[in-house]
Structure 1
């Protein structure tokens, strides 16, 4: 009797177990048995290289202001540096080649574009790099026909950040007073960079506030990533109590190999503009 009861209990238990399982029609080949979800493997961190970018207005009013600005740049110690509105060997700079002096102090390579002759030297833009420079290019940007506004330029270098991995670093300052000049100049910028296949970091003063909904930022946002737009860009002028944004650090990278990890204004300056800084990461090729 005990054996019969035990057998009945086992059959009942087996029936319960079977009734709890899903039933699959062996003739329905579109339905597959369920399987436990496997925990995805956590990928190893992609090897990357970090580097720092700085964009500086160098229009210091006196020769005495140059040394504090140089010390501020040395304190941040960028890997890529853009100097806009910089004197080279002018009388007011006591004939000091300021771009070269900064390059020597930070042990960087230099490319300077003179926008025009001034006093005993020149006035223009410079890009500097701690990475080897493999290409250099520069061009003056357009003005309306008959317009005699100050000449503006785009300066650009290609650097080798890691073996067989290069990127372009470019800087500019657009016309602050003539919107038609700015609109021509932003088209020049886009034409100069649209065919480049490697990542591009474009920095400088575009002389347009986002709230104005102008063409310059609209055009640039179509091609470049602004890390801060929509999230509140760091204000950088006037330095004592900043109310405006006059410098941006942007980038373009179809392969998503570079990214910004930090973006802020540097708190020291010898003029009314605080420098803009950003930290980038470059994914290294395996």
Structure 2
């Protein structure tokens, strides 16, 4: 064999060895995972529970020890007091005083004449220093009415979907806002069930139960459900594993309406078993025709 052929074969063998080493190193090197979440992302119609919550980028994150979430739900009567006086500034002041992490709001207007044409969720977000997400459900001329969520915590994503309704009733919706609680994503759902039709309310409860039960994250569900604690709507949610915090840690009857002399309990903060209610209270307030409810949750060790 000539000297030239030997040199060529040696070079080829060296190349094969180098490629093999590079392949072996690539196989042992950990994969790179993106560390960012989209700020706004449409919510899928169906999600399946996972064993653990996922952090930005999809990596598994252990549940934070000692993490606490303070939630509030408040039907703000489109920013008017029970006497019909403008109350948006007073609502913002009371929210700041109660210092919640997240707030579910019902009867929130955007661009409607009755409320001065303002975007109420945005205004309340500015006046409380919180992030604001809005879910419009019914159009009135050039404006809307719907639900909103305010959050002191970073907002990861949000989405709104229509709920079933029957002819002659008001379109309702379910707003979902995912927030970042100490590195763990938590879903905050805001809804407002139909008041005039038990059939519509039952259908809405079934749809909400299906949606929240698919959440892979710990969740809070808040809002004016226009139903008594023993009503069909609450039974539907209970069968789906949604926990009524008031039944565990609330004191008294939990009545929220009417604000000046409450006789009925129709405003709720509910959760799944990964959030443990520690205390719940109806707050003394007359800046709306409803009183707000405030509940403190701990994150379960196995969230």
TM-score normalised over the length of structure 2: 0.72
| Deviation, structure 1 residue 224 | 0.7
The CA RMSD measured in Å over matched residues stands at 2.0
Show the counterpart of 1:52: 70
Contact 2:93 2:128 in 1 (8 A): no
Counterpart of 2:161? 139
Structure-1 separation of matches of 2:267 and 2:231: 15
* Aligned pair partner of 2:257 in 237, 248, 259: 237
Aligned to 2:57: none
Following superposition of structure 1 onto structure 2, how do residues 124-273 of structure 1 map, counting pairs within 5 Å?
Answer: 124-144=146-166, 147-163=167-183, 165-210=184-229, 213-222=230-239, 223-229=241-247, 232-253=252-273, 256=274, 258-273=275-290
Residue 125 of structure 2 corresponds to: 103
CA drift at 1:233: 4.2
Q: How does 1:6-21 map to 2 (within 5 A)?
A: none
Q: Aligned-pair distance for 1:214?
A: 2.7
Q: TM (normalized to structure 1)?
A: 0.76
Q: Unaligned regions of 5+ residues in structure 1, if any?
A: 1-45
C-alpha displacement of 1:57:
0.7
**Structure 1 residue 284 displacement after superposition:** 7.0
Aligned-residue offset at 1:50:
2.2
Partner SS state of residue 208, structure 1: coil
Unmatched segments (≥5 aa) in structure 2: 1-63
Distance in 2 (alpha carbons) for counterparts of 1:84 and 1:107: 19
Equivalent residue, structure 2, for 1:88: 110
Matched, 1:112 2:129: no
